[in-house]
Amino acid sequence: MAMAGRKVTTSNAGVAAALVALLVVAAASGAAGYHVCNVDTDSLVNNCRSYCAVGSNEASPSGACCGAVRGANFKCLCKYKGLLPKGIDANRAMQIPAKCGYGAASC
């Protein structure tokens, strides 16, 4: 994935874990319009949480979820990969980058 004229490599697992962790941080903070790693946390929480929830049967993340992470700084998001909470299906979260067409690499 090219960002600002350079290629950024991250793993689907690392990015997904980071996205989920960011989702949790955003939900816990309750801060409206808060941005982390070029991601609007409100948009991430509102649009991706249902896909990542334990027991979700959604076939893929919504277009809005993919849009919420479109401009993400994935290298920055890797800092949050160790914060997966209960209630989030890590396997589903790991599918987000690939299902949104953002490719694979490693944190």
- Structural contact between residues 65 and 74, judged by C-beta atoms closer than 8 angstroms: no
What single-letter amino acid sits at 36? Answer: V
Nearest to 87 by CA among 53, 58, 61: 53
Note the pLDDT tens digit of each residue in 11-37. Answer: 666 666 677 667 666 665 555 667 888
pTM of the model: 0.68
Distance CA 52, CA 32 (A): 21
Distance CA 100, CA 28 (A): 25
In sequence order, the 6+-apart residues with CB closer than 8 A to the CB of 53 are 87, 88, 89, 92
Note the pLDDT tens digit of each residue in 31-71. Answer: 566 788 888 878 877 888 899 889 999 999 999 999 988 87
Average pLDDT of the residues of the chain: 74
